[in-house]
Amino acid sequence: MAASGTRNVVLVALAANLGIAVAKFVAAAWTRSSAMLSEAIHSLVDTSNQALLLYGLYRARRPADARHPFGYSKELYFWSFVVAVLLFSMGAGVSIYEGIEKLRNPHPISDFWVNYLVLAIALALEGISAYRAMTAFDSHRGPRGWLAALRASKDAALFTVLLEDVAAVSGLLIAILALVCVQFLGWEQADAVASILIGMLLASVAAFMSVEIKGLLVGEAANPKVLAGIERILKSEVSARGPLIAINEIRTMHLGPEDVLVAASVDAIDGLPAEEVERVTSELEREIKGKYPEVRRLFIETQSVAGHKAAISAERAPTKAKAKTGAKTKRPTRKKKTASQTAEAALADAAPSIASAGETPVASPDAAPPSRKAKKRTKRQKQPAQPKAAETFEAKPVENPDASE
């Protein structure tokens, strides 16, 4: 959707919420209704949220510069995320607190007709704003369901206004039902319970918005139809004779609702002149941007299929290496020695020196008593080593040959 259409939807919501907030605060002060005060806070938060969205739309239109070469389109996503945070903290938090406080310190509601009048006016104004937002969103929803379209939408400002208006209408219906229960059924706690329910409703909407806008801030790919169309245009130049022989990869990212970044890697035929490469690249860029105006930046690189695979492998290699390095290896655990084992080892180490010195070791009073094996080992070490029995030989007399003569 065009930025001007989104801005008009936000302006309508801002005017409606501002008037509703003033009326609700007056009615809450007059009737002392907790549910009405919660609705007044809700409308005030919605008013400030629309102002922040308008500011984000204004900032996102700034042209690119040296510091932000891709422009400021993502500022809209940032301010939409701030809106979600405010809706959760200020809207949901204050409403739940007010309901709990009313349960702890109940006070009666007066002048029911004032509440009904203000709620009816608010319901009419919020209904008009919600209808405008739903009509604008439905114009580019396509065949998707509402939930699928909300999750696939890249226009954070538009679906933020839509969700806030739907939550506001639902909250008004809850407040009216609570007043009916108090006035006709005598259930005094219904007003406080309604305030808590409105807070829980706002918290749920804010949580959904936060998750979806977070994905846009990180960077989501273009619509699958846009991606398929870009691929089809690139493939029209692929043939066996060139100029292109393969499409390696196409990457897209939404920088804003109407700002898509495209990077494509293609393999050109070998020996293609530089002038021909420039001509083909310019024609492809002109055709893609002409068919898809949201594509503001297109980068096409020529690279062989093998070279692209090597580049992808190198890109993923640091992640794999980090995963391997980060894996913890199990270290072998050492068994702790008991006191008796420690004493045995100490006696075994000291025994040779004690035996050579001929001294008896003196045990420490704090040391554990030596075991039976240690005593035997010490006793053996104290005994002097017995020399081996020398083999004796019977000496035979040597006859002197001169003696017989």
CATH class for the domain made up of 224-318: alpha beta
User: What is the block-wise mean pLDDT of the chain (405 residues), using blocks of 10 residues?
Assistant: 76 89 86 77 85 93 92 93 88 88 83 86 90 90 88 91 91 91 88 91 92 93 93 88 88 93 92 88 93 93 88 78 56 53 56 48 50 56 50 46 44
**Cβ of 218: how many Cβ atoms within 10 Å?**
9
**Residue indicated by tokens 């007056």:** 26
Select from 236, 109, 249, 251 the least CA-distant residue to 180: 109
Q: What is the dihedral of CA 45, 47, 52, 54, to 10 degrees?
A: 160
Residue in 95, 122, 102, 130 with CA at minimum distance from that of residue 200:
95
CA 312 centroid distance within chain = 24
pLDDT at 187: 87
| Whole-number Å distance between alpha carbons of 185 and 189 | 11
Q: Are 141 and 149 in contact (CB under 8 A)?
A: yes
Quick one: pLDDT at residue 375? Answer: 55
- Tokens representing 32 are 């002392």
Q: Which residue ranges make up each domain of the chain?
A: 3-218, 224-318
- Residues 167 and 205 sit within 8 Å (Cβ to Cβ): yes
**pLDDT for the residue 4:** 66
Q: What is the pLDDT of residue 181?
A: 92
Question: Distance between CA 160 and CA 280 in Å, rounded?
Answer: 41
Residue 352 is predicted with a pLDDT of: 52
Q: What is the CATH number of domain 3-218?
A: 1.20.1510.10
Distance CA 172, CA 118 (A): 10
Structure tokens at 301: 């690189």
By C-alpha distance, which of 101, 102, 111, 112 is closest to 188?
A: 102
* pTM, entire model: 0.70
192-247 pLDDT tens trace: 899 899 999 989 999 999 999 999 999 999 999 999 999 999 998 888 777 889 99
